[in-house]
Amino acid sequence: MKFYRTDLHIHTALSPCGDLDMSPSTIVNLALKRGLDIIGITDHNSTKQCKMVWELAKKTGLVVIPGCEMTSREEVHCLGLFEDFESLAIFQNFLDNHLTLIPNNISIFGFQVVVDENENVLEEIDNYLGASLDVSIEEIEQKVHELSGIFIPAHVDRPRNSLFSQLGFIPPELKIDALQISKLAIEKAVRQRYGITPEITLVKFSDSHYADDLGKTYTLFEMEEPSFKELRKALLGEAGRSVRIPE
Ligand SMILES: [Zn+2]
Ligand SMILES: [Zn+2]
């Protein structure tokens, strides 16, 4: 068993608020340089940049988990992470069917581009990806789990766009695999403030939108190997595996 530095919440230039410098090659190079073992690509309401990051990392030791940060109808941000690109494609279809259609205003929200390994623009997304989906957080969770994905409400301690800011509590029907706390949060304080019981796993990820932030925030996953299946087992605490937020 080994500890793997894991950050499963990273934005690319595809996110309207993501810096244009966050290209696939920059993300892979910086993640390696700064000692991360596993990263998750989670742009707002789109999965279209995941494959390129995964392709570039394939030849290196870095493991890339494809995913997305969804905005529910209640304006709650939540992460979905997937084992393979077949599930990801089905999930992209779900996003396409449910995104509220608002044209992106570049001067206000910024560019939303899919780029290749040389940072050539392959596609520009016209609809604003920061809009919400027309489905509830429960419906999103069910879709992620139907595709055998991992579902984690994002930055739950934040005063906006979080489970606690929007709903005030964890809906009893919602099947969460963990809760993500934001980069400056202290686990103990968040547990106390929101009454989060010990059987709920907390993870801390960077939510990086800028290159500077990458690698500074991570959670240690103690596992047999750096894979999606092992991540799931670690979140469940199966057979000696564990998840630990560094002090
Ligand atoms: Zn968010
Ligand atoms: Zn985010």
CATH of region 2-244: 3.20.20.140
- pLDDT tens-digit series, residues 20-77: 889 999 999 999 999 999 999 999 999 999 999 999 999 899 999 999 999 999 999 9
Residues with beta carbon < 5 A to ion ligand 1? Answer: 77, 154
Please list all protein residues whose beta carbon sits less than 5 angstroms from ligand 2, which is an ion: 69, 207
Ligand 2 centroid distance, CA of 205 (Å): 9
Of 138, 146, 206, 207, nearest in space to 176 by CA:
138
155 alpha carbon – ligand 1 mean position (Å): 7
> Which runs of E-coded beta strand occur in 72-206?
77-81, 113-115, 121-124, 150-153, 179-181, 202-204
Stretch 179-206: mean pLDDT: 96
Per-domain boundaries in the chain: 2-244
> What's residue 110's pLDDT?
86
